[in-house]
Structure 1
Amino acid sequence: MRTQRNPCTIMLSHSIKRSILVVFKSLSLCLLATRLLAQQAQKNEFTLSGKIANTEISTLEIHLFNADSQLIKTEFPNQQGEFNFEALPKGAYYFKIRRGQADLYNSEVIQVTQQHIVLPEIRINEQRLETVVINRSRPYIERHDGKLILNVESSLQNTGGSALEVLEKAPGVTVDGNNNIILRGKSNILVQIDGKNSPLTGEELANYLRGLPASAIDKIELITNPSAKYDAAGTAIINIKLKKGTNKGTNGSFSTALGAARYLKNNNSFSINHRNDKLNLFANYNFAYREAYNDLMIDRRFYKEGHLEKTFIQDNFFKFSSRNHNGKIGFDYNLTDKNLVGASVSFTSNVFKPFGDSKTTLMDSDCQPLNHTATLSQTDNITKNISANLNHKYRMDTLGSELSTDFDFIRYINASNQSFDTRTSDNNGAPIGTPYLLKGKTDGDLNIYALKSDWIKILPRGLKLETGFKTSYVKSDNDIKFYDHSTSPAVPDSNKSNHYIYQEYIHAAYGNVTKKWDKLKTVLGLRIENTNVTGTQLTTDQINKRKYTQLFPSVVFSYEFTADHNLEVNLSRRINRPNYQQLNPFKYYINATTYRVGNPDLNAQASQNYELTYSFKGKYIATLSYSKISDNITTVVKPILENGENINVQTEENLKSAAYYSLNLIAPLKLTNWWDINNNANFYYGSYTGNVSGTQINNIGNFTLDINSIHTLKLGKNFAAELAASYKATEVYAFARISPYWNVNIGLQKKFKEKNSLKLALTDAFNSNNRKGLTVYNNYEENFKSRREPRILTLSYSYNFGSSKSVQSRKTGAAEDLRQRAE
């Protein structure tokens, strides 16, 4: 047994009780600061008032929303039709006048910048108005509260695609050849689904996202510098928010898509929602069938004392097929005007079958062929997931103060059968030795329990206090057995088999104080997390333990010079813990000379993050950021000697440090009434220091950029077209240099009576989205080129049915990203 502790984490010598006491003392100071600020803020109150004429007053309700469509207050007019909203912070608002289920009046956006604003008299003609519905066109890219938001359905290039393909096209996001998601040059990203952390990473996460249709996604949030109210894990957060029904009555949608290139693809989505004043019932189901391929060419060269010793030339063709079913059913019920309870159950079933045909030529020091090895591989991977959520929310007032609690249980079951048939021949095709037949079976079980509670208090005069806690337990049990079938009977291979159990406890508490003055807004946050991890290799009786407590402060300063000019400073500290796959030392074989293996000695990485963001008119945005990371977790492919043979191993290593400097620009343009352009450019420099496989690098990196431009053309008669182009320049990533690549996608849409639409999309129109790269160590060099399926033509149809009567959100207040309600 051996016990390891992370030398780069901040270790606290006090007990956990002492650490938690520190948090409560900090929160007490926050409360004291809140009271002091409240005494100084009376002069910043604003009032909005008006009068309604020519209609029955007694049954009217007036709902006030902020610019993010969050309900702020509800008022009722007096007998004279007068209404008044008091103690408002400065900002943008709009309101709705309702009678029963009908919207009688929808105001324009009102800029509240004066102490008292009196609106012109409001006159309502109910004889001409049954229900007023405002269709707000959402741009593809928005920024709110430090988050870059992609409205997926607003872009035709996402038609018929999967969630993984949407991410690959997202500005600043890349997916490398090992299925790692990288945001603005940063790896180790935390991916969330509806605000809940996904335990999947790497290939398993990629398989899930391949099976999730883009038609099921409402928006994607890119959070590059999260505050203390978010989990401290990950260098950044990508939150995929699925669609949900918001209209009263019964309504829903259906969509289907068929894609064709070398192989067929099919996505189908169905959702239904019934909502009234008390109850909201919802259900959805998605099915996706996809076939694709990846043609990977690799040139591996091994050196000894600077001289070429041998070369492997590999041609790897991988075909993937997947069948994914996922769905959700649940309800929300208003027990009283202040109490909301809800529950939901969701499931996923994914059958993923990759087939590999790898051909390897071994060449001597003079580049003359010695022999040829062919490996046929087949994997049948079945992943099943079921998750349940129970939630309760207590609304304390009409300002948005609330107490919410969530309990989640998630279980993943994974079963995988692998087979490898390896045969070697000479230059004349004559067999060398006997065929090597290897078969493996993996049984995996992952259980997650999580409980969290958040308390939000909205105070007058621009004050908000947030605090909460979260506790979670994760247990993963993976048992993999390999057998050598080259002889009869088959012989167990103890060198490749492994049984690994991973257990993780994380307990966290946080506090945030937000204060708004006339032009200045500040958010001060502190989060404390205690982590206790145990990894047990039953095969070798090796135990790795890590236990540590850390503090994660965050600070935001936002200053509004004028209504058009805003400057924001964002500082935070974050951690990235290695997940159970990265720690699990079992071997996943790709071909006769390559396999993937986890690293049980990985340490957690810590990062300091700084951002400066300037926005003009809320549309033109420039963000300058810097991150310093210690013990950077980096995916590497390195050469080793195993039983006297040269083998390549894909694994994770801790580099000593990494640093990222970036400038991100968002510049939408409206050239004409029918031509809109969304432009995004990310310029960044990544620098790495560390040692892998006997090779030392010191501040190695390069300046690079990626550009994304989306052109939307309104052609008339409900026709629209879209052209999306992207380019990524050469990037140095630790020991690897990735060559530039570019991509063009085209889309066309026709809408019919606002209820249904037909879309046609062509992805990678010029077969240019190919990846090439070079990895260099002291005695090893690898060139690779990856070609994936181009020119996928997809036709999709979507239909919306049911009621279109809108209803105000019951999730009041300004903390939507804290409320992970399953709706």
Structure 2
Amino acid sequence: MKFNSIWIGTLCGWLLFLTDPAKAQTTVNRSFTGNIVDHKNSPQPYATVILKNEQDTSITQSTKSNDLGYFTFKNVKPGNYQIKITMIGFEPFIRSGVLIDSNSKPATLGVIRLQVSTRVLHDVIIKGTVPKIERQIDKTIVNVDQDITNAGSTVLEAMKKLPGVQISEDGQLSLNGKSGINVMIDGKPTYLSASDLAALLNGMPSANVQKIEIMTSPSAKYDASGNGGIINIVKKKNRKEGFNGSFNGNYRQGYYGNYGGGVSLSYKTDFYNLYLDNSYTYKKDFFNRTVNVDVLDGNHILQSERTSSNDNITSNKTYSPALGIDLYLSRNTTLSLTGNMNIQSSSDQTLSDMNIFDGNRSLSGTEYFSALNKNKPFNYTTGIALAHELDSSGRVLTFSLDYSGYRNHAGQDNQTLLKDASGNFLDRSLVFLDQSRRLKIYAFKVDYTHPLKSQGRLEVGFKSSYIRANNNNLYYQDLNGLNILDSMQTNYSVNSENINAAYINVSKVYKKLSIQAGLRAEQTITKGLQLLTGESVKQDFLSLFPAVFFDYKFNEQHGLTIRLGRRIERASYHELIPFRRPLTPVLYFQGNPDLKPQLTWHGEVAWSWYGELFLTVGYTIDRNYVRTLPYLDSNQVTVTRMPTNIQRSSSWNIDLSYSRKFANLWTTNTTFSLYQNQFSGQVANFKLNNPGIPTIYISSNNSFSITPKLSAEADLEYNSKRQLVTSSFGAYSTVDIGIRRLLFGSKGALTIKATNLLQSESHNVIDLYKNLYQYSYFNFYTRAIRVNFSYRFGNGKAAKSKKESSSADEQKRAN
């Protein structure tokens, strides 16, 4: 497969960077910052800041203030400028005579206080732009709603476009080739298995998401779970006074038709903020998988061969309502009550035809297999949070209490028909799997933030969570029209997990050096009980997880960041249950109750140039690495995939990222990554010594401003061949394009986009382990065209100072 368009697009981006005349000049450009607050010193996020050339009043740059009220302009040429700041509900702020000289030190405008406007503003259009990708000392932030091609997509589809993120066929997430990603929603863990989490995110519209935070080395204030890092999905939250809302609808035509829509409503006063979100999605997809399995003896001589073609059709209907209220008990105290549900109805159908050959590759029989899995997952979360500002210096105390429930009752009908080489009937079997899973999750958390001198901050906190999982898996076989329970293949287990954690995190900013250091202690108590056999397992251990960050600015052109941290990956509940579930005629999955936690050290060094070019070098060391491996069963016919600990693993990565806006017309965010995974150890009397292979990953997001109301976007992604333990994955690529037109006074937007334009996402997977060789090829039919329309309405007035402060605190808690 050729990827000429990918390489040409990527090379053009890098050549433009290398030949950019602005970089060739000897003049030293500068950056400067400012902090926007109101008359009560409360931070004001999302204020529009415009930088104008004072000589000809032309607009040089524009941006928005972040969640804490800070804004930054980079690469400003020496000269005289004018700063203009506007925000709904406040008087415009204008400062002229801002002199930027050639001094290499960064400039600052200090604290800028806005005055509350006595006028009522209507239909104000904010033209400041938020960058699609922001890089901070401990995280990378991707502003999802700034990407045109995300319009109408689900959160899972948007996550596939995150820098360095890959999602496997079964929903497993990896970041720069490292698995074990802890996915959070508004700073709260999801606690779901990979497949359950994929189903949840596949039913969540990206229109409800403000940003996604990627943390390869999270700070000590976050849960230590997730050896590959943390991906935090931050939902949108209303900040406007009065009645406001928005609605959206979309339709996608690919192999099947898909559609969805949602509405968000809010009402905010001096005393409360009430908000309601409702969304509905319908998705139906198809893919084909061809599989060739060779069974070898100890001398690697072929014993048997099986070739099959498997069609998979999935459909999913998801309804997701959410309701919340913020009560402003006082100027400094906010009580928040939230509740959300996710109601699904899904169907997963597999149709398989398999030919069976002997060691001489002569046909010995055929097998036809069909499976229909119907499921109605239901999960909900309720929470209460109290945020209190102790004084105006920035001392904040927060409490939160959450309860979540997850119910999953799936029924799967399997039918197998076996014939000989001549097509004569041999056997038929009917199996019904009745699978029930329930999770109850309780979590309590308290955090305290204390400001220190010279832009320092102390954070301490405590968290306790308790999870109870009931899994009842019943295996029925059809005998003469009756479903008879097979107790040997039935499993009923109860698992519980209690994690108690405490952390301390200190950050300090000097002239050129920023330091953040923290330590997290977690006590883990797990219990597992097999009710049918009486077998039980218990673990109780205490672990420490340090995290340190250093950020040093040599000058306005060069900066260096160092990150180092320790993480843990605990097995998900379905991975611990020894229930053997059929996937295809010869492929099964079974959990492993003896899995150990995976422990990881990860460090990286990042160099930045002009805040546009970033070079990152990272190294990771794992112990008890968890990977699902294929095992040939004793009948020498079927294969069972089982999560397994591998004693040692290490990986390295080199990332080169470039972000630049050219003449207010073209903005590019391009990442080039090179990484390699290595594994060693002994598994089931098989010595594993796998050095891995270097893997290339390229991601490029390009947006174009055609007119003030018309914009376009083109995205491309490329993954070369990569290897994980005994599995190697073939190369694939995707190209997406889109165009957006603002309508109705910029309150509405119509977006048309095409995804996987070249139909180039299909790839192979090869498993080579002991006496088993398996080659699979996945044909994905994801090329589609999508139309999305969104519209926002409301009076558009800004909230008063005390309400902005409270909502800012809530936003900080989500971070």
Q: Which amino acid aligns with 1:343?
A: L
Q: Find the residue that maps to 2:220 and give its secondary structure.
A: coil
Residue 664 of structure 1 deviates from its aligned partner by 1.8
Offset at 1:639?
2.0
C-alpha contact 1:102 1:131 (8 A) present in aligned 2: no
Q: Distance in 2 between matches of 1:48 and 1:679?
A: 28
1:446 corresponds to 2:439: yes
Residue 337 (str. 1) matches residue 326 (str. 2) = no
Q: Does 1:582 align with 2:575?
A: yes
Alpha-carbon separation, structure 2, partners of 1:120 and 1:314: 68
Matching residue of 2:611: 618
Aligned partner (choices 399, 422, 425) of residue 428 of structure 1: 422
Task: Describe the superposition over 1:700-757 as per-residue Cα deviations: whole angstroms up to 9, x where unpaired.
Answer: 2111111011221222262212111111011111111111111111111111121001
TM-score if structure 1 supplies the norm length? 0.85
Instruction: Please name the residue that 1:516 is paired with.
Output: 509
Shift in Å, 1:588: 2.2
1:603 corresponds in structure 2 to 596
Q: Is residue 648 from structure 1 mapped to residue 639 from structure 2 by the alignment?
A: yes
The farther-off stretch of 110-119 and 275-284 is: 110-119
Deviates more, 1:609-618 or 1:747-756: 609-618
Distance 1:704 1:814, change over 3 A: farther
Structure 1 match to 2:3: none
Q: Secondary structure at the match of 2:637?
A: strand
**Letter in structure 2 aligned against 1:103:** F
- In structure 2, relative to structure 1, the CA distance for the partners of 1:811 and 1:428 (3 Å cut) is farther
Alignment-derived partner of residue 192 in structure 1: 184
Cα 1:813–1:276 change in 2 (3 A) is closer
Preserved contact between residue 664 and residue 682 of structure 1 (Cα < 8 Å): yes
Q: Name which of 407, 411, 420 aligns with 1:413.
A: 407
Amino acid at match of 1:747: G
Q: Which moved more, 1:318-327 or 1:678-687?
A: 678-687
Distance of 1:448 and 1:239 partners within structure 2: 19
Match of residue 698 from structure 1 = 689
Aligned-residue sequence identity (percent) comes to 26
Q: 1:723 to 1:352 in 2, by over 3 A?
A: same
In the alignment, which of 750, 760, 764 is matched to residue 758 of structure 1? 750
- C-alpha contact (below 8 Å) 1:300/1:313 kept by paired residues: yes
Cα 1:307/1:820, change in 2 over 3 Å:
same
Does 1:780 find its partner at 2:780?
A: no
User: Which residue type is aligned with residue 783 of structure 2?
Assistant: R
Shift of the alpha carbon at 1:503?
A: 0.3
Question: 1:121 Cα deviation (Å)?
Answer: 13
Contact 2:378 2:406 in 1 (8 A): yes
Partners of 2:793 and 2:505 in 1: how far apart?
42
Structure 1 position 788, deviation (Å): 1.5
Q: CA deviation at 1:615?
A: 2.3
Q: Which moved more, 1:189-198 or 1:698-707?
A: 698-707
- Contact 1:62–1:96 (Cα < 8 Å) also in 2: no
Task: Label 1:114 to 1:652 Cα distance change in 2 as closer, same or farther (>3 A).
Answer: closer
Bigger drift between 230-239 and 656-665 goes to 656-665
Q: Offset of 1:115 from its aligned partner?
A: 11
In structure 2, the residue corresponding to 1:581 is in which secondary structure? helix
1:786 CA drift (Å): 0.6
Residue 314 of structure 1 aligns to a residue in which SS?
strand
TM alignment of 1:109-508, pairs within 5 A: 134-235=126-227, 236-304=229-297, 305-433=299-427, 435-508=428-501
Conserved? CA contact 1:527–1:552, under 8 Å: yes
Distance 2:108 2:665 in 1: 39
Is the Cα contact below 8 Å between 2:249 and 2:261 reproduced in 1? yes
SS in 1 for 2:571: coil
Partner AA of 1:764 in structure 2: N
**2 CA distance for matches of 1:777 and 1:145?**
41
Mapped partners of 1:494, 1:127: distance in 2: 75
Cα offset, 1:775, TM superposition: 1.1
* Matched residue type, 1:750: R
Q: Which residue of 2 aligns with 1:102?
A: 89
Unaligned residue ranges in structure 2 (runs of 5+): 1-31, 46-63, 71-82
Does 614-623 or 313-322 show the bigger shift?
Answer: 614-623
Which residue in the other structure is 2:789 paired with?
A: 797
Note closer, same or farther for the CA distance 1:363–1:801 as it changes in structure 2 (3 Å cut): same
SS of the aligned residue for 1:592 comes to: coil
User: In the alignment, residue 417 of structure 2 is paired with which amino acid?
Assistant: R
- Per-residue CA deviations over 1:330-385 (Å, capped at 9, x if unaligned) read 10111111111110111111111001101111111121211110111111111111
Pair 131,164 (structure 1): closer, same or farther in 2 beyond 3 Å: closer
Pairwise CA distance, 1:504 = 0.4
Contact 1:71 1:811 in 2 (8 A): no
Contact 1:711–1:723, Cα closer than 8 Å, also in 2: yes
How far residue 118 of structure 1 moved from its aligned partner, in angstroms, is 9.0
Cα distance in 2, alignment partners of residues 115 and 664 from structure 1: 29
Equivalent residue number for residue 26 of structure 2: none
Q: How far, CA to CA, are the matches of 1:449 and 1:640 in structure 2?
A: 39
Question: In structure 2, what is the equivalent of residue 550 of structure 1?
Answer: 543
| Counterpart-to-counterpart distance in 2, 1:669 and 1:561 | 21
Assess, with a 3 A threshold, how the Cα gap between structure 1 residues 766 and 578 changes in structure 2: closer, same or farther.
same
Amino acid at match of 2:169: G
Contact 1:72 1:400 in 2 (8 A): no
1:445 CA displacement: 1.0
Alpha-carbon separation, structure 1, partners of 2:526 and 2:511 = 46
* Cα distance in 2 between the residues matched to 1:475 and 1:483: 26
**What's the CA shift for 1:810?**
3.9
User: In structure 1, how many angstroms separate the alpha carbons of the residues matched to 2:472 and 2:290?
Assistant: 32
Distance 2:330 2:455 in 1: 28
Shift of 1:805: 2.7
Contact 1:102 1:132 in 2 (8 A): no
Structure 1 residues 518 and 477, CA, compared in 2 at 3 Å: closer, same or farther?
same
Tell me, yes or no, if the aligned pair for 1:454 and 1:818 is still in contact at 8 Å: no
2:671 matched to which residue of 1?
Answer: 680
Q: 1:818 to 1:715 in 2, by over 3 A?
A: closer
Contact conserved, 2:90 with 2:116, CA < 8 A, in 1? no
State the SS of the aligned residue for 2:312.
strand
| Aligned residue pairs, count | 743
Q: 1:232 to 1:125 in 2, by over 3 A?
A: closer
> Which of 801-810 and 771-780 deviates more?
801-810
| Cα pair 2:42 2:804 within 8 Å, conserved | no
Distance (Å, rounded) in 1 between the aligned partners of 2:114 and 2:245: 34
Greater CA deviation, 618-627 or 789-798?
618-627
Cα gap change, 1:237/1:47 in structure 2, threshold over 3 Å: closer, same or farther? closer
Residue-by-residue CA offset, 1:17-37 (whole Å, 9 max, x unaligned): xxxxxxxxxxxxxxxxxxxxx
CA distance 1:718–1:630, change in 2 (3 Å): same
Superimposed CA distance per residue, residues 29-52 of structure 1 (whole angstroms, 9 cap, x where no aligned partner): xxxxxxxxxxxxxxxxx99999xx
Task: Indicate the residue corresponding to 1:721 in structure 2.
Answer: 712
In 1, distance between residues paired with 2:643 and 2:112? Answer: 64
Asked if the contact 1:374/1:423 (under 8 Å) is kept, the reply is yes
Deviations 1:527-567 (A, max 9, x none): 11100001111122111111100111111111122244321
The separation in 1 between residues aligned to 2:781 and 2:371, in whole angstroms, is: 20
In angstroms, what is the RMSD of aligned CA positions? Answer: 3.0
The reply on whether 1:657 has 2:648 as its aligned counterpart is yes
2:240 and 2:797 in contact (8 A); partners too: yes
The 2-side partners of 1:790 and 1:120 are apart by 49
**Higher RCO, 1 vs 2 (CA within 8 Å, ≥6 residues apart):** 1
How far off is 1:307 after superposition? 0.5
> What do residues 280-334 of structure 1 show as CA deviations (whole Å, max 9, x unaligned)?
1111011100100121111100001221010110111110000001121010111
* Partner Cα distance (2:34, 2:516) in 1: 26
Cα distance in 1 for partners of 2:724, 2:491 equals 31
CA shift at 1:387, angstroms?
1.1
- Which amino acid in structure 2 is aligned with residue 381 of structure 1? N
Q: Are 1:668 and 2:655 counterparts?
A: no
